[in-house]
Structure 1
Amino acid sequence: MAQQMALGSFVFGLGSGFPYERLERKTSGGWVSLDIISSKPKSHNTGQGLESLRLSGKAQWAAGMAKLDELRAMADARQPYALVDGVGRVWGRWRINDITESQQRVLDDGTTSLLEWSLDLEEFVNA
């Protein structure tokens, strides 16, 4: 099955019915500013920070709601997961920080016909 990305055993992609539309990656250079009373702040490098990722997309109906429930169960396990992209590149281990959903056009039974979601991940480095 073709995939965009896999987080542990959870697969993002058209084949799984849960693709992401946007990936945002943030890398910190580790710079901080130290305030100095009599002059401008001094720059100091404290070491590279952890990378963060935000995956976001749209899903439909109960199937999309079920996929978000799977991600929530993974978050509830409170463990890091291996992240592998569609070409087989291993991105390392990542923890789930936040899962956000916005339901639109909700039907009488509580099923949404349009679900916008985002998943915030942070690099896990405890080696």
Structure 2
Amino acid sequence: MMLSLDHFVFSLTTAPYKELQRQRNWKHATSSRVGTRAASQYVAPGDDTITLAGMVAADNKIGTRASLDDLAKMGDAGDAYVLVDGMGTVFGAFIIDGLNETATYHTSEGIPRKIEFNLTLKRVADETLAAQQGDGKKTEDAAASRLNDIKAVSRVASDAVDRVKSLSLNSIKAGAITVAATMAPGAAEAAIKGLSTGNGAALDKALGAAKDISSGNGEAIAGIVSYILEKTSGT
């Protein structure tokens, strides 16, 4: 996994990028003064923009056209998505600001053999994520709590991978991030406790708590917990 934008995972089989460019700035207010330089005061963080430049060439097993369509649909939704890299670093909440495509080497049917793309992501306030949950908690604290859940699940998954050599790093981290991005904080906490212990009884208890707290995500949590339990037990 190169990056994960909510449920969309950038990889060689989806939409791999060869270049990541990040541009950040910070706001400073200034006021003119007679006979000296203008006074300056730091105000707040400014724009944070990430541009991914990559290529899709399905004939060479590099990405798929459908992956670019999925990104376009995410842009159409207008939602903010959590951006996480393969090491578990959470960049924050980002919207899809633009997607440019250049198709070349078309077949006689008009199908491009190569599509170069530039995806522009722009960071938004973290509380935007909480607002999308529909629970009325549009505060920064609610958003920060959710982001912390994602960091914790990703960190625990990485620890589990270090202990279990046969475990796939990309699959477990991608799964953990996807689940954490949609589950209730209570369910995330229960799953984290279960993953951390590596104990069968604790895993079962954590799984039960997770299902009680967030029934809609119970099966997804079950998949992650069961997978780790299966690998640690050597089955």
Say whether the 8 Å CA contact 2:58–2:64 is kept in structure 1: yes
Q: Counterpart of 2:96?
A: 96
| Contact 2:26-2:47 within 8 A present in 1 as well | no
Residue of structure 1 equivalent to 2:81: 81
- The structure whose residues are more often helix, as a share, is 2
Matches within 5 A, 1:7-46: 7-14=5-12, 16-31=13-28, 42=38, 45-46=42-43
Letter in structure 2 aligned against 1:8: D
Q: Which runs of 5+ in 2 are unaligned?
A: 128-139, 141-235
Q: Closer, same or farther in 2 for the Cα pair 1:112/1:41, shift >3 Å?
A: farther
More strand by share: 1
Return the index of the structure with the highest Cα Rg. Answer: 2
Q: 1:115 to 1:40 in 2, by over 3 A?
A: farther
When residues 64 and 40 of structure 1 are mapped into structure 2, their CA distance, relative to the original with a 3 A threshold, is farther
AA aligned opposite 1:98: G
TM-score by length of 1: 0.82
The corresponding residue for 2:2 is 4
Q: Relative contact order: is structure 1 or structure 2 higher (C-alpha 8 Å, sep ≥ 6)?
A: 1
Task: Give 2:79's aligned amino acid.
Answer: Q
CA separation of 1:107 and 1:39: change in aligned 2, threshold 3 A: farther
The alignment of Structure 1 onto Structure 2 pairs a total of residues equal to: 123
Distance 1:77 1:56 in 2: 22
**Cα drift, residue 109 of structure 1:** 1.6
SS of aligned partner of 1:115: strand
Asked whether the equivalents of residues 31 and 46 of structure 1 are also in contact (C-alpha less than 8 Å), the reply is: yes
1:56 and 2:59 are equivalent in the alignment: no
Moved over 6 A (4+): 38-41
1:54-81 Cα offsets, whole Å, 9 max, x none, are: 0110111486321111100000111001
Root mean square deviation of aligned Cα: 2.4
> Percent of pairs identical after alignment?
28
> Mind listing any 5+ residue stretches in structure 1 that lack a counterpart?
none
